[in-house]
Structure 1
Amino acid sequence: MNERRRFNIWTASSFIIFITYVLFLVYPIVTILGQAVFEEGKFHLNNFTAFFSKSYYFSTLLNSFKVSIVATFFSLLLGTVLAYFFSMYHFKGKKFLQILIIIASMSAPFVGAYSWILLLGRNGVVTKFLMKSLGLPQIDIYGFSGIVLVFTLQLFPLVFLYLNGAFKSIDNSVLEAAESMGSKGISRFFKVVLPLLTPTLLASALLVFMRAFSDFGTPMLIGEGYRTFPVLIYSQFISEVGGNAAFASALAIIAIIIALSIFLIQKFVAGKFSFSMNALHPVEPKKVGRGKTIFLYFLVYGVVFLAISPQLYLIYTSFLKTSGMVFVPGYSLNSYVEAFDRMGSAIFNTIRIPFIALVLVVIFAIFISYLAVRKRNFFTSIIDSLSMIPYIVPGTVMGIAFITSFNTGIGGSGFLAITGTAFIMIVSLAVRRLPYTIRSSVASLQQISPSIEEAAESLGSSRLNTFFRITVPMMASGIISGAILSWVTMISELSTSILLYNIRTRTMTVAIYTEVIRGNYGIAAALSTILTALTVVSLLLFMKISKSGDITL
């Protein structure tokens, strides 16, 4: 009887999770596929033909590949160099710099684009200084170069965080052995260290590429004539003039196919390089000579300062006086007063909606990770695979899929009409950010020996009691680290929220974006500062709870 009860509990949880994914992931994707290829009950490929037959449309896809590939390359370069220096050498301010790196990575990309416009735009403060004081020509921050700059400085911290964790798995004896055989410095890095980091590099490259490929806020603000694929999807779906929901759905399907193909290629290549490392003697940072120290400090602090400078300047401008939409000499808190007066509900929603979504994320992640590791079978493998789809599908695509599936208006299916409610915002955030906590929880659970649970059961503990009282507490570090990453990405989410929000469910990122578009830079700066403060508090809370001075992915 007890065996059957335990069996029913896990079967029921598997069934509930599977139905949830079918309803809020599979069904929306199938719906936009149907909208793209069916019209009045007849199958056709006209929307796909229109995309590939017109160079204007197809060029946006090529543009997205160009900026994503170049941004991924430079992000890998900067992230790898910084992670190497952080792991190999001793210098002051590591923890402080790491927090700054996290802040640089966790803010919404379009906020960085807006900040760089204030710094290096045609009327930017740095641009004016260089032109008037040094007589240099005007800097062109817009277009391809500007998008790559913003993406690189926004996304290299993700590579850094991945590799920072990977370096801790390298045994110092491996490096000592290489050095004893005459392989030192750059040679040792390329022959020994880099091959050991390859699986992590591939994983971080996928994340960086997909983040760059799916972002539409940055190209929308700073791209000007350089249009990218996500911008095309958004404009085709949302535009009141010339908008085409069926064509936008076809573009969304193309984006899904591209994302899935890249993910499978990355997974195949990573499988060729996969191996396990267990550092009995982790790498210990060492001191360097004065000459190298100067170079080290200059490079590390320089890169971090460059990455964080947009946020620092935003914080500064949030305290400037404004006259209408223009900054004027003097300092004031008026931007904050107006932000709380006009956008108070958005600030509250940024905490309320992601918090409810986070609760769902933690609950589902605990059960999914346990099913994927301890109850591995064909059915739970399907659930595990489904959980990774939102990791690679662009947020704009998910937003279109949700609107199309759960809207009673034009182009909607009329089933489960939740569009315009807080519920659809909560579900979209939970579905999109759940993979972060699942992966972290799975990694934590895999380090727990099943014999511990078996010992508890042999002493009379039921399997469910063992799960909640022994297994889950031992998974706590992985759950917390995944949850904090899910939380921070939730509060900075834009691409899905910009499509799903209404006046009652508007979040800070949506409010910042709309205020930037309207030219209310003071309010936008104040809201961005509040969002940055919320991110910092979240990270400090994580470090306190986890009792760790280090943050890795």
Structure 2
Amino acid sequence: MSLYHKKRDVWTIITTVIFLFYLILLVLPLFTLLKESFVGGEGGRFSLNYFIEFFSKKYYYGSLINSLKVTVSVTLLSAILATPLAYIMTTFKIEGKIYLQILILISSMAPPFIGAYSWILLLGRNGVVTNFMNNVFHIQTPDIYGFTGILLVLTLQLTPLIYMYLMGALKSIDSSLLEAAESMGVTGIRKMWKVIIPLIMPTLLAGALLVFMRALADFGTPMLIGEGYQTVPVMIFNEFISEMGGDDGFAAAISVIVIIFALAVFLLQKYISNKKSFSMNALHPISEKQEKGLKNILAHIYVYGFIALAILPQLYVTYTAFLKTSGRIFVKGFSLDSFKLAFDRGGDAIYNTFMIGLSALVIVVTLAILIAYVTVRRKSTLTNGLDIITMIPYIVPGSVLGIALLLSFNSKPLLLSGTAFILVISFVIRRLPYTIRSSAAIMHQISPSIEEASISLGASNLKTFFKITLPMMLPGVISGAILSWVTIISELSTSIILYTAKTKTMTIAIYTEVIRGNYGTAAALATILSIVTIISLLIFFKLTGKKEITL
């Protein structure tokens, strides 16, 4: 066998092993889920009874309609808010821009259910703002529960995701296009609507898809603040973990319906994006300008106003973490008692978060590097299949993946349920796409001629990869790894299905303390999680030399 074939076979083996990893730990569970939805029930025969039951009762299909209302509303509102925010932050000189960008990132990194819990403390029936408005001005504030609360929490949480996408796209627009438009009398809002939005539309659609999927999959927010406004993730959880005798087959059938629905949206977005896609290369990128007068004032009000609303939940949670408590009630004065209780009750959860999270991150980084390399440099039918299969987690909600893993690995020979390993698997599968995306993006920027030069000088293929290619990939890998890490430690929807008392993570601990009414302990744990997130972002900025994150 020639040296070329030996080199090729090394990467073929690596690709095959990774492909098998996905087949066993993602495709098999999803196939088991599909089988359970059609074969569950009496006799184990093929049946459509679960699907018929779902669509024949409003209680069930109404939850799907509710989820559709939430996801569409959140996606549209996030896009409407994020577009001018990104435009202003790109083209205007805004005071304290660096710190504002960090605050925008922090506001998007916390679990959404923490925002829900915070808004309950602020605008709930016994909330601080509610009581203040009622006692001082005798004004009854609008009800924060139900659809309104879910929309508020998820919009503030997810708008920064589209913002990060758009910041990258706006930097790719050549300023000469805008100057040409202005010379033809197209200025202000007309310039944005006629020129900028069409140019950033593919990126806007990509960001909107991510927001749609995140809103569709969110479990904690509707569970805490929904109050009867039931969405599909909550219904799946209640059906699967019901103390009144839930039905695994029915939960599987609902999960299959959600996957089909998400897949249809995903394919629609891809179709529209492909029709509108084009490449941009800015020789003269848009530069920020110092605006004057009313335009400058309005721009600052918009940016500062949004960031104040977005960061308010975390600030208030941090504030309550330092308040004195008497039992479950906050009292006057400040204290560190909540943090002491947090470490006493949630010490294991903090340890598990780091151990399980870091274990998952090591696997994520390793796999992302290899997958990015083979899908960009070693194109074949196998690598194309791998590229497609790695996208599946984008359209599978966390609770659905959790159920699929439990159904598949709840008996020998692969008895993984109840172990930390099944959580590691779920985190890897769910968060690997973030690092693959950023690693593949930088891989495209590395010229193959550099690797060819190394090989021509006698270096082996693997030596070239480790000595030349990998060091050049590191900035993209680090960027994706930080985003993966932050989303791993804030994961709830999958963890709530898979955890046990021994594998409880911080998000589970926060959620259970909120449910029990131990708001001080929950606030302390949430504050610790926020501090870890901030430190992670600061490490990212230090290692990459960047002042912002773009997707």
TM over 0.5: yes
- Does 1:324 pair with 2:314? no
Other-structure match for 1:226: 229
Question: 104, 122, 145: which is aligned to 2:148?
Answer: 145
- Does 1:406 pair with 2:409? yes
How far apart are residue 451 of structure 1 and its match? 1.3
Q: CA RMSD in A?
A: 1.0
Q: 2-side partners of 1:126 and 1:139: how far apart?
A: 11
Does the 8 Å contact 1:122/1:138 carry over to 2?
Answer: no
Other-structure match for 1:310: 313
Does the 8 Å contact 2:346/2:509 carry over to 1?
Answer: yes
Other-structure match for 1:181: 184
> Residue deviations 1:33-73, cap 9 Å, x none?
11111143411111011001111100000000001101111
Q: 2-side partners of 1:172 and 1:470: how far apart?
A: 35
Other-structure match for 1:107: 110
How far apart are residue 457 of structure 1 and its match? 1.4
How far apart are residue 133 of structure 1 and its match? 1.1
Amino acid aligned to 1:13: I
Does the 8 Å contact 1:407/1:415 carry over to 2?
Answer: no
**Equivalent position SS for 1:83:** helix
- Does 1:512 pair with 2:510? yes
How far apart are residue 415 of structure 1 and its match? 4.1
Question: 215, 219, 238: which is aligned to 2:218?
Answer: 215
> Residue deviations 1:245-293, cap 9 Å, x none?
1100001111111111111111111000111111111110000113222
Q: 1-side partners of 2:19 and 2:548: how far apart?
A: 35
Q: 2-side partners of 1:114 and 1:238: how far apart?
A: 22
How far apart are residue 317 of structure 1 and its match? 0.1
- Does 1:15 pair with 2:13? no
Q: 2-side partners of 1:550 and 1:324: how far apart?
A: 42
Does the 8 Å contact 1:169/1:282 carry over to 2?
Answer: yes
TM-score where L is the length of structure 1: 0.98
Other-structure match for 1:24: 25
Other-structure match for 2:269: 266
TM-score where L is the length of structure 2: 0.98
Question: 165, 170, 185: which is aligned to 1:167?
Answer: 170
Q: 1-side partners of 2:139 and 2:440: how far apart?
A: 53
User: Aligned ranges for residues 13-412 of structure 1 at < 5 Å?
Assistant: 13-39=14-40, 40-408=43-411
Q: Which runs of 5+ in 1 are unaligned?
A: 409-413
How far apart are residue 110 of structure 1 and its match? 0.6
Q: 1-side partners of 2:189 and 2:293: how far apart?
A: 19
Question: 476, 483, 486: which is aligned to 1:485?
Answer: 483
**Equivalent position SS for 1:515:** helix
Q: 2-side partners of 1:118 and 1:36: how far apart?
A: 40
Q: 2-side partners of 1:2 and 1:341: how far apart?
A: 59
How far apart are residue 193 of structure 1 and its match? 0.5
Does the 8 Å contact 1:202/1:266 carry over to 2?
Answer: yes
Q: Which runs of 5+ in 2 are unaligned?
A: none
How far apart are residue 5 of structure 1 and its match? 2.1
Does the 8 Å contact 2:219/2:492 carry over to 1?
Answer: no
- Does 1:441 pair with 2:439? yes
Amino acid aligned to 2:457: L
Does the 8 Å contact 2:102/2:548 carry over to 1?
Answer: no
Q: 2-side partners of 1:415 and 1:71: how far apart?
A: 43
Other-structure match for 1:411: none
Q: 2-side partners of 1:256 and 1:415: how far apart?
A: 27
Does the 8 Å contact 1:391/1:433 carry over to 2?
Answer: no
Other-structure match for 2:542: 544
- Does 1:495 pair with 2:498? no
How far apart are residue 4 of structure 1 and its match? 2.6
Identity %: 57
Does the 8 Å contact 1:60/1:229 carry over to 2?
Answer: yes
Q: 2-side partners of 1:90 and 1:148: how far apart?
A: 31
Q: 2-side partners of 1:180 and 1:458: how far apart?
A: 52
Does the 8 Å contact 1:354/1:426 carry over to 2?
Answer: yes
How far apart are residue 225 of structure 1 and its match? 1.3
